Structure 1
């Protein structure tokens, strides 16, 4: 069963290859959706996939790539949109 989550990642998460690294991890796990920078300095991720992949992705987001310093995740469940890919939105 596919689930959808939106996760707002706060901390030092812009300018540290967070979006590209998130896309690579999502594709590795078979997760679909998107990632984008927000004006407040956070990164917003919408992702869809099976429960085990989503749990692994959520755990990865708690740390992010090497140069990131994740301080907080704000997680909400969403409606499944059946995204076709995992995109970096500008």
Structure 2
């Protein structure tokens, strides 16, 4: 068996034999475009009642940073309602 393959043989081994693509030109058909009418949805006036807010726990993140090992530290605190 020959260990030297030509480029064409390698292409056939990897991708298979090329099959000729047939170009078929389809006639262009102009279909009538349907008219689209957008209707605004009817919104019923709803009486909004203020609901007492339940207790929401806050997340507090404290970050201590510094430029030197065991040197001056700066503390950053961030509080958020969500994770």
TM-score between both structures, scaled by the size of structure 1? 0.20
Question: Which structure would you say has the larger Rg?
Answer: 2
